[in-house]
Amino acid sequence: MTFKEVFPELFKCYQCLSCTLGCPLAEEMDLKPHKLVNMLILGKDKEVLNSLTPWICASCESCQVRCPNGVPLSELMDQIRQKGIKERIYKGKASALPLVFLKEIKKRGRIHEISLILGLKRLVGFKVSMEELRIGLRMFLKGKLRMRPTKRVSSESFKRIFEEVSF
């Protein structure tokens, strides 16, 4: 199924650009939100799935809330990312965060920030920039970082949630 078949609301778009004008990260995107909607209407799902836009989007939901025609842009972004991950279409490092994050939840039940960062580094490489080093050190010195992981949380119900999904 193409996105326009799943989201018939796409056809209500009259290209007013409210989404793009209110998007805090539009200038970083290769496909601006209004253009992305247009591409989906034209059935160019593949181009959208290969674009950086869904991975630049911070899910702030401004576009969806401000759209005068009720185009569910945030929901669309989620569906594009989900499809990109499931079908291994998007290979950039941006998709690393949700995947590592969920593996951490599955393992510990909660997020321990240092373990999460180590998990991310394992995936995208251990190179640390001066900026990251500076921020990490400041956080450490201020007592912001919790060194010891919290107790693992799990239950039969919790395990069953993860049996229902694959990623």
Partner 1 sequence: MKFAYYPGCSLEGSSREYDESLRAVCEALGIQLVEIPQWNCCGASSAHQVDSFLKIALPALDLLKAEEMGLPILAPCAACFLNLKRAKKALLEDEKLKTKLSSLFGKNFQGKTQVFHPLWVFSNSELIERLSGLIKVKLSELKLVCYYGCYLVRPPEITEVDDPENPQLMERIMEALGIQVINWAWKVDCCGGSHSLLNPHLVKKLSKRLVQKAKESGAQGIVVACPLCQANLDLYQENQNMPIYYFTELMGFSFGIKDAKNWFKRHMVKPSLG
Residues that bind partner 1 (CB under 8 A): 24-25, 28, 56, 58-62, 64-65, 74, 78-79, 81-82, 85, 93-99, 101-102, 105, 109-113, 116-117, 120, 124, 131-132, 135, 138-139, 142-146, 150, 153, 155-158, 160-161, 164-165, 167
Quick check: 51 and 30 in contact, CB under 8 A? Answer: yes
Residue 118 Cβ vs partner 1, minimum distance, rounded to whole Å: 12
How far is 111 from 100, CA to CA, in rounded Å? 11
Q: Looking at beta carbons only, is 1 or 165 nearer to partner 1?
A: 165
What Rg, from alpha-carbon coordinates, does the chain have? Answer: 19
Q: Looking at beta carbons only, is 41 or 56 nearer to partner 1?
A: 56
For residue 78, what are its two tokens?
């989620």
Alpha-carbon torsion 124, 129, 133, 139, what sign?
Answer: negative
Q: Looking at beta carbons only, is 41 or 116 nearer to partner 1?
A: 116
Q: Which of 49, 36, 40, 52 is nearest to 85 (CA)?
A: 49
Using CA atoms, how far residue 167 sits from 1, 87, 117, 164, in Å, is: 20, 10, 19, 10
Query: Residue 61 region, left (φ>0) first, then alpha (ψ -120 to 50), else beta?
Result: left
Residue 78 Cβ vs partner 1, minimum distance, rounded to whole Å: 5
Q: Looking at beta carbons only, is 40 or 104 nearer to partner 1?
A: 104
Residue 102 Cβ vs partner 1, minimum distance, rounded to whole Å: 6
Residue 167 Cβ vs partner 1, minimum distance, rounded to whole Å: 5
Residue 135 Cβ vs partner 1, minimum distance, rounded to whole Å: 6
Q: Looking at beta carbons only, is 5 or 131 nearer to partner 1?
A: 131
